[in-house]
Amino acid sequence: MGRSIKSKFPTSAYNKNKDKQNQISKNQKKENKKELIQKIKENTPIHKDGDRGQGTDDQHDTKYKDLYRESKKEIKNLEKEISKKNNDIKKVKTENTIKDKELEELRKEMYELRIANNRLIENYSLLEKRKKDIEYELTQDIQILRSELEQANANLKGKEHIEKRYENVKKSNENSLKKMEKQRRTIEQKDNECNNLRRRLAKAEEEFESLREISRSYENLSPAFLLHSLIESIDISNYKEFSLAHDLDRKLTRIERGIRNVYRTKHTVNDITSELYGNVYSKGEEYVFVDIEGFEYNVSSMPHYDGFTEGTPAKAYRVSESDVVVSYFYKKYSKEFSVESEISRSVKSTKNNSNPQREEDSYIIGDFNVLIVSAHDGIKYRDRLRLHGLDAHLADGFEVKSRTLDLMKKADVVIICVGSVAHAYSDYAKQQDDPKYQIIFNANEEKIVTRVIYAKHILGL
């Protein structure tokens, strides 16, 4: 049998009545037993020892036996009645148990019906409230519609205006649906394009990663291994392609000569902190080196050069805060760098000269493209470069990043004036590691011209 469900209603009265009926049944059994014992006692005579005789004893034995048989018979009858009563009581208990279960089920159903009834009452209340709200809304809408209808009838004869308005709304809806359909197709097309681009990007990333792995495999190759590989790969069929090897030999010789110049002084190779590019000038019996930033250093040693002139272009090793060792003179571009030297060293005289069109200003540097990135004096720098025959342009150092970066990529030389540009442009130029990007601190016209000439010779423009 399943577990009985306890009623939510009190059952104390029922249990009390049930206990009372059980007590009555027990009391009745006790009374019946008591009556039987009393009857036996009443039918049993009391004898005295002095009056008892033999005949009398026999008579009494007979009466006692008869009384015993009658009592036994009566006890059996009483036991049958008691058994019958007990069976009746069991039936009554069984019926009571069934009735109790039925009553419990009825109470449970009554409780569930009461809960359902409460829910129905609540739902009915909500529906009544909703009905009133809807009736109120409908009343308001009807009033609004009546007002609109009356206004439409008053202004444009009602029906014609409504029909015309309906047609306009219908056409507007049709146009909107067409636009939505067109936009949906456009979105689908764009989604397809995006998916294609994603696939292409994923493929490109895979190829890039593959190339990166190849590149990493070459990072740790020693120069000796590379040179040996080049030497072994030269033969009669491709020797012309290795003509740059002569430049490698010349550069190696140049570096060795520069290091020998360093050893002629009190310094060693470990004292070299950087390589500088600039010009050498005579200063009495001594020489000074001025780098492309305009900083001046004492020349501790330099190679012998019969064609030396003021401003001869050179490369130097910086060995201390104030000293350099000149390692190489650029003889091929001596004339151009001499003009550049004069321009760089005439900053003060330029500001004091009343004639703006000097001989140095009209010197033709070239016809390549130069982009100046600066937010200050950019127009002045651009016009100055145009006087030297250059195709110069200007980009504001704080304008839209994508446009400026695009112009920087297209230009042959890019001059970035630090202090008047966003950090993004100077950071980008440093990351490129390309001599076409020239970064200048404390810019002025002379520095701009000098740096453009330097970039021209480095890039071979």
Mean pLDDT of the chain: 78
For 15-20, which contacts have Cβ atoms below 8 Å and span 24 or more sequence positions?
Answer: 18/96
The pLDDT value given to residue 350: 45
Q: Which of 23-37, 40-54, 196-210, 428-442 has the lowest mean pLDDT?
A: 40-54
Residue predicted with more confidence, 336 or 186: 186
Helices and strands (DSSP H and E) totals, the chain:
11, 9
Q: Does domain 245-340 have CATH number 2.40.50.140?
A: yes
Gap between the Cα atoms of 30 and 35, Å rounded: 9
Q: Mind listing the pLDDT tens digit for each residue in 209-248?
A: 887 777 766 666 677 777 777 788 888 888 778 777 777 8
Q: How far apart are CA 352 and CA 249, in angstroms?
A: 48
> Are 446 and 361 within 8 A, CB to CB?
no
Structure token pair of residue 281: 């000038």
Grade residue 60 by pLDDT with cuts at 50, 70 and 90. low
pLDDT range class, residue 7, cuts 50, 70, 90: very low
Question: Mean pLDDT, to the nearest integer, of 120-126?
Answer: 85
Confidence of residue 56 (pLDDT cuts 50, 70, 90): low
Mean pLDDT on 134-160: 74
- The neighbouring-strand residues paired with 276 are 316
Low-confidence winner among 145-159, 193-207, 360-374, 428-442 (lowest mean pLDDT): 145-159
For the sheet with 437-441, list strands across it. Answer: 391-395, 369-373, 413-418, 437-441
Could you tell me the residue ranges of all domains in the chain? Answer: 245-340, 354-459
Q: What is the predicted pLDDT for the residue at 28?
A: 74
**Residue 349: what pLDDT?**
44
Q: Between residues 31 and 3, which one has the greater pLDDT?
A: 31
Q: Give the three-state DSSP class for 257.
A: helix
Task: Return d(Cα 459, Cα 437) in angstroms, integer.
Answer: 11
245-340 shares its CATH topology with 354-459? no
Overall pTM > 0.85 = no
For residues 102 and 337, the model is more confident at 102
**Does 446 score more than 50 pLDDT?**
yes
pLDDT digits 0-9 by tens, 304-351: 877 777 878 888 999 888 899 988 887 654 444 554 455 455 443 444
The first and second tokens of residue 19, run together, are 């206990």
Specify which of 36-45, 47-56, 180-189, 396-405 reaches the highest per-range mean pLDDT.
180-189
Higher pLDDT, 58 or 110: 110
Using pLDDT thresholds of 50, 70 and 90, give the confidence band for residue 354: very low
Q: Are 261 and 325 in contact, with CB atoms under 8 Å apart?
A: yes
pLDDT in tens, 364-423: 888 899 999 988 888 899 999 999 889 999 888 877 777 888 888 889 999 998 888 888
pLDDT class of 65 with cuts at 50, 70, 90:
confident
Structural tokens at position 269: 């190779």
Torsion (CA) 406, 407, 408, 411 in degrees, nearest 10: 130
- The b-or-e profile of 121-139 (16+ CB within 10 A means b, else e) is eeeeeeeeeeeeeeeeeee
CB 300 within 8 Å of CB 288: no
Give the pair of three-digit tokens for residue 414. Answer: 């890019």
CATH superfamily of 354-459: Response regulator (3.40.50.2300)
